[in-house]
Structure 1
Amino acid sequence: MLRLLYRAWKAPAYAARWLERFALFPQQSLNKPIWVHAVSVGETIAAAPLIKSLQQRYPERDIVVTTMTPTGSERVQALFGDSVFHVYAPYDLPSSVKRFLRKIKPEMLIIMETELWPNIVHCTARSGAPVILANARLSERSARGYQRVRFIAQPMLRGLSRIVAQNAADADRFKLAGAEEGRVVVSGSIKFDFSIDSSITTKSHDLKLQWGKNRPVWIAASTHQGEDQPALDAHKKLLKQWPDALLIIVPRHPERFKSVYQLCTRAGYKTAKRSSKDMLDETVQVLLADTMGELMLFYAAADVAFVGGSLIESGGHNPLEPAALKMPVIMGPHIFNFEGICHELSAAGGLKFVGSAELLADRVGEFFEDEPYRQEVGLAANVVVEANRGALDRLLSEIDACMLPKT
């Protein structure tokens, strides 16, 4: 409760719908529901193709989608509207979890990636519903943490009907942490199986016309505190050689929009805010993307992408979205959330690593200066995306195998 109060103070959206976190919401009449849990925005976007496939594959079943964050909740509502039942996930207290299960009566729980909670897994499995960990990943750091609390982790992992891991290394780490070997399979990452909205190209073209079609543009996406200033410092260096360069900066969390805007203006940049529909002419040096759900649009409107959460020890965010758009990708050294994907992109030549603002500027400058090189690196990144599609079908096969017989 204290943490929730603190989050609400930092981000007012956390102050709403508190009762849902204790499974205090009206009783639901749902038909053989499948419960999909995705913690926040990234997991929700990754789960979107899965949820749509489940709706097509099991049209007679209702889909329940839970998240932990307001931004994740907004994504669910934007992507699915009333076609799914959405509430916040219950806190991992036995009373809250049991109340949630009584009201929802799920016939399967699909948990995205690593959002494992002992009571949720235990109580759901005990109810007779299969529990699947989908698109599962476990970093070396998290695996060490699981080893330290093996007395909790092992029973929880053994409550899972199936762990569908992103790659063999993740699968091995789950086994070492205590998962039963026969229940761990490798599917690849379903994050490769997303599609790009056909309207993105038109919308990005319109943006480019506003700020100047031939300007060099780079994006610092999903930035955390401690990454905005390095991006602005890098942009300052770039402006010396490319005075018309534009930086699109996209903070990861909406509660930081105001502080990042102040950071930009204090640094002396002419800054436009997307939410205010400010004039995006050639004099704008920084565009603050302070809206939700438009990241792919901003990627499509840029030439080079830096993916945040990687210059600080946050583990990095998804590099596949810019890669799918044939963009060169730059990341810092902290990539444990996407370690396998990042190394595959790097090995193919589609991702470059940096460790400082100065190196970030140098990398972006290389791509500004040499268009054929930029296209070559972007194409290499895209080839990796296309070569790895198909994980969703493999995951759906495992779901089919675990699905309770129709009654």
Structure 2
Amino acid sequence: MVPLFVITVLATLVLWPRDTPEPEQGPDVPRYHGTVTRVLTEPCPPAAEVPEGTPGGSRGPCGTVTVKVEQGPDAGRQVEAPVPAGPGAPTVQVGDKIILVELVDPADPAAKSYNIAEHQRGKQLFWLAALFAVAIVAFGRWRGLAALAGLAASFAILLGFVLPGIGAGQPPLLVAIVGSALIMFVVLYLTHGITAQTSVAVLGTLGSLVLTGVLGTLATAATHLTGFGSEDATTLSMFQRDVDLHGLLLAGIIIGSLGVLDDVTVTQAATVTELAHANPGLSRVQLYRAATRVGRAHIASTVNTIVLAYAGASLPLLLLLVADSRAVSEILTTEFMAQEIVRSAVATLGLIAAVPLTTGLAALVTTAGRGGVVADRPTAPTSRPPADRDDALEALSGRAGNPPPPAPARWPGPETSTDVAW
């Protein structure tokens, strides 16, 4: 693991963004907090007639909203703003905390007006984040606290290295793989401790990430995807014309797969470890087969999780299957639908490969140091003589006269856990 970690750190230093382009400064529109004190709606004036079949929605609602301004030069005053209208406009009621934008007429700088931009959400998001953190720490205790630290480290690496590196013109796929490897090292060891079991999970995750990158490259090349399959990508290309949207698509597949991959690899490594502790006589082949059965059940549910996660994030896109009059086969082969299909398929293939890879590594590491006979030859179960009913009841009640035989050296005690002690 040490050489892999050193290579990851060196690659991070080489790819570290040094000449990050400054974002273009747009017009600074003042934004102020306010509270709605009155909402007055009225009928909208008649709109000009448009040709039949022209897309567009009904106008409205119309009217004025009275807002008490809490910031800026008009703090404490009551100002009026039009009722928000149009697609995505917020619905306001008396007592709502909203954000006002101040608009100045270029022809007459002294003339200004206010519009309602959106609701204030800072306090609600703060309490939701606090509930999230308290629930994790209450259930996971020290490990939950370590998980929160790992989450903070993940965001720090994404915001400090991956996104600025891609914005600086570095190869997005390479930056995503290096950044994901760095996140994996920091988060897994911080959350699960520096153990052989964690190292197996790291190796399995790293191998699966590389395989996912290779499969993603082949799949996007075979389907001739350009990366312009979403409105966000098209908008980004207007602000940064030199960004590699094809590489950005591959980087998104890599980073999106990381969160599910470490779940599977950690579970498989822990399963093999627990099986070896429960029955030290199991051979490598037996450990592999038993843990793989657990992995199959895990994969069967996780595959559905991946597809539903992508579907939930792309519901407006999926609604086109119903709203569009074209044939379904024609819609599925368009750029924006093919991109989601490739993303889901490649992530699932990398996930499936993680199970045998991690399970095999865990079986090798767990049985390392055993005698050759125990490690390579399955142990036959020993038959027990039939016990008398009274003896069995006495043993179950804990009043047996003879103490139980000593447990093997590898067998955990009744009150000990094979988990990492924190």
* Shared fold, TM over 0.5: no
User: Greater relative contact order: 1 or 2 (C-alpha under 8 angstroms, separation 6 or more)?
Assistant: 2
Task: Please state which structure has a larger fraction of its residues in strand.
Answer: 1
The higher radius of gyration belongs to: 2
Task: Please state which structure has a larger fraction of its residues in helix.
Answer: 2
- How high is the TM-score relative to the length of structure 2? 0.22
